[in-house]
Amino acid sequence: MSSSTFNFERTVPPVRWTSIAVFAAALLLLGVVGWEIHCRRIGYAPTVNDSMELWAQRRSSVKPDSMVIIGDSRAWFDLDLDELEKGLGKRPIQLALSGSTVFPVLKNLCDDERFHGTIICSVLPVLYFVPAGPPLKRSQDAVDHYLKQPLSERVDLPLAMFLEQRLAFMNMQELTLEEMLKTLPIPDRAGVAHGPKLPPYFNAMDTERHARMIDRCVQPGPLQDLVRRTWPPLFTPPPPPPGVTPEQAMEQFKIAFGQRLKDTVTAVNKLRQRGGKIVFVRFPNSGPLRELENKFTPRQQTWDVLLAQTNVSGVHFEDHPELSGFECPEFSHLKPDDVPVFTQRLVPYLKVSLGL
């Protein structure tokens, strides 16, 4: 077969490519503007995403003598960095993660031979003593991401945050195609078990990872009611897996509880040997959620045991009238106006606990 048989020449149509490019760009711009308007209309606003990349960047900024906040979403919402800096003389780095078991982050800091600073650690017993599952995975994923953080993400992050602070549709937690498909009203198959739903978008965050509740959740209304309804299933222990009796499940939990205590003692001792300091904090909650937490994780069997075993000072909001008088709009977190006031009142107890 002749080689000429394979000769091929593509003919470029004689059209106005510049006009086509302009038209395509205009369609793209129109689509972006329309989607942005729609997202704002249904309640979203520009905010920095709480991404693994941002968490890793903040973890990378920790210096040997830094002050670090770790824990669950209550430490994320309820501490004002400006007030802590005024009261403690150093601006903390915010590393708390919503819906997470803090232990992997605590262990990572305590294992870091360079670090001999100060840790303010939120302890929410229902999350702290979780032996497995999504809360533990969330923290471990953050630590793993920090340890593997590629250079490309460090370069991309500033651009991502620039756009996120200006465009509401950049919300990566809820407005991606994958997440939106999960909200379709598709009936579940019979016998299929699902975990409880996470709360919807109800907070904003800045580049230092300080979260704050949005006004629509602070004020009584549909969003506040929806967030309130999400907490009880999330804070209620799941039933035993198939083939495991309640007695066996309780025995397994006691073993896991004891191991978490043992691991915490080991981690804290490493930090102390390098001259580091740590304080545990129990942040406010209210309403039915407070009753639920006290029922399933009684203070005497969780918080008190943790302090005794680790010999770490703790600040529990119920011990101090000036810390316990706050009402959480959705039962779990302080409203933005209360955060500076609560932090101011908390600072003296932190100074005593840390020996500052």
Q: pLDDT tens digits, residue range 15-34?
A: 888 888 999 999 999 999 99
Section 124-150 average pLDDT = 91
Q: Per-residue pLDDT for 176 more than 70?
A: yes
**pLDDT at residue 172 is higher than 70:** yes
Give 106-109's long-range contacts (Cβ < 8 A, gap of 24+): 106/70, 106/264, 106/267, 107/263, 107/267, 108/59, 108/143, 108/146, 109/62, 109/68, 109/70, 109/271
Per-chain mean pLDDT for the chain: 90
Amino acid letter, 178: E
Q: Which amino acid is located at 114 in the chain?
A: R
Pairwise CA distance, residues 251 & 255, whole Å: 6
Q: Which residues span the domain enclosing 207?
A: 52-178+200-354
- 308 in a structural domain: yes
What's the total number of domains in the chain?
A: 1
Here the tokens at position 197 are 């739903």
> What pTM value is reported for the model?
0.89
The mean per-residue pLDDT over the stretch 284-296 comes to 93
Lowest model confidence (mean pLDDT) among 199-203, 282-286, 344-348, 351-355: 199-203
In a domain, 319, yes or no: yes
CATH classification at residue 349: 3.40.50.1110
Residue 22 within any structural domain of the chain: no
pLDDT for 303: 95
Residue 18 in domain: no
Residue 98 domain flag = yes
Whether 3 maps to a domain, the answer reads: no
